[in-house]
Amino acid sequence: MKIAKFFGMFVAACVLGAAVAGSAAAGPLTLSYANFPPAPTFPCVQMERWKAEVEKRTAGAVEVQTYPGGTLLGAKNMFDGVKQGMADIGCLCMSYQPGVFPLTTVLELPVNFTSSTVASMVLWDLWEKYQPKEFAGVKVLALFATAPTNVMSRVPVKGLADLQGLELRASGGASKVLERLGAVPVSMPMSETPEALQKNLVKGLLSSLEVMKDFKYAETCKYVTMTNFQTYPFAVVMNRDSWNGLPDGVKKVFDELRREQSLWTGQYMDAHVKESMDWSRKEQGVEVFSLSDADLAAAHGKLEPMIAAWKERVNKAGLPADAIYGAALELKARYEAQYGK
Ligand code: 3IO
């Protein structure tokens, strides 16, 4: 009985696999998936989750070979590398290539996104609605944004006064935030940040707080200042030819996973930020500051021009900036009502 049952399941899996792959004889189709940061960090955690889901849902017809830590493509050549076919799939941060992603960098604006979940769903819906040309050369497989960014530093930053002239690592919109607040942004991808902190080239960074644990920044940065102004947007993209070559059954599995994967990543990250900060406070003695109401108001005043500058870039790209910005705020409110602030 047991053997018969097992054999039956095996046959069923093979039939499903063959149906999805379109060919029984070819063996699994192997796809390479490149990522820039180390394996334990959130872009790679979501990559492994996607791999597991794909391998399960295609019943082994598709095998995903993952390359964390920049072993196949790095932070800055991820998008071009995937377009050129050096990897089938890649995970990129839009903030690392200023000017290349006009629409989706709306997530970098200082409008106080409340969570990675909300920001990721806003990003997904905006992309789906406007289908911007910035991703025309690739197939988009997931879109997500980090939890809101905050200051992590070696020195206490209790208010805007302490930020003046302070060298902090960031990228893209986060670098603009620092500049407008009087800090000195040092722009580099996250993957280069551990070394910069180690060598004391920077006094801290502006990013989402799960990195305190995942990169052990809490061992160096004993202070966190809550700002929650904006986020870093990410995309998982696939080479067009690789996509076009997939059997229809596999395409369907990938398509059905897109929004789900984006939401999963947001929810994973929000939970992980909490874990990271619990660990940072309890195990690492990290101290957390909030800005005074006066400083928050002053900061928002200084950051406001970022919105007009973004609109100008988006209009230049031929997109309706005012409508997109309005839709972003509307979606943000809708998802905050659904998922909480
Ligand atoms: C990030 C990038 C790689 C690994 C973990 C991360 N957490 C937040 C980010 C956002 C980001 O790209 C950045 O540069 O702060």
Residue pLDDT, tens place only, 156-176: 999 999 999 999 999 999 999
* Among 42, 151, 212, residue to substitute to test ligand 1 (most atoms within 8 Å of Cβ): 42
The predicted-structure confidence for 49-85, as pLDDT tens digits, reads as follows 999 999 999 998 999 999 999 999 999 999 999 999 9
Fold agreement between 28-146+231-273 and 150-230+280-308:
yes
Distance between CA atoms of 112 and 105, rounded to whole angstroms? Answer: 14
For ligand 1, atom 2, the nearest C-alpha belongs to 190
Whether 42 and 213 have beta carbons less than 8 Å apart is answered as: no
- 157-181: burial string, b at 16+ Cβ within 10 Å, e else: bbbbebbeebbbbbbbbbbbbbebb
Looking at domain 28-146+231-273, its CATH superfamily turns out to be Bacterial extracellular solute-binding protein, family 7 (3.40.190.170)
Q: Best substitution site from 146, 149, 213, 268 to test ligand 1's pocket, by max atoms within 8 Å of Cβ?
A: 146
Tell me which residue has tokens 């997530």.
107
Task: Count other C-beta atoms under 10 Å from residue 126's C-beta.
Answer: 21
Query: Model's pTM, two decimal places?
Result: 0.93
Q: pLDDT, tens digit, for every residue of 289-331?
A: 999 999 999 999 999 999 999 999 999 999 999 999 999 999 9
- Mode of pairing for the β-strands spanning 62-67 and 29-34: parallel
Average pLDDT over residues 6-17: 41
Phi, psi dihedrals of residue 221, rounded to the nearest 5°: -95, 100
Q: Which stretches does DSSP call E strand in the chain? A: 29-34, 62-67, 89-93, 138-145, 150-153, 167-170, 184-187, 204-207, 223-226, 233-239, 287-290
Residue 181: phi, psi to the nearest 5?
-90, 0
pLDDT at 27: 79
Mean pLDDT of the chain: 93
pLDDT of 7 over the 50 cut: no
208 lines ligand 1 (CB under 6 A): yes
Q: How confident is the model over 175-196, as a mean pLDDT?
A: 98
CATH of domain 150-230+280-308: 3.40.190.10
pLDDT over 90 (residue 17): no
Identify the three-state secondary structure at position 334.
Answer: helix
Domain range list for the chain: 28-146+231-273, 150-230+280-308
**What's phi and psi for 317, nearest 5 deg?**
-80, 5
Q: Is 46 in the pocket of ligand 1 (CB under 6 A)?
A: no
43 lines ligand 1 (CB under 6 A): yes
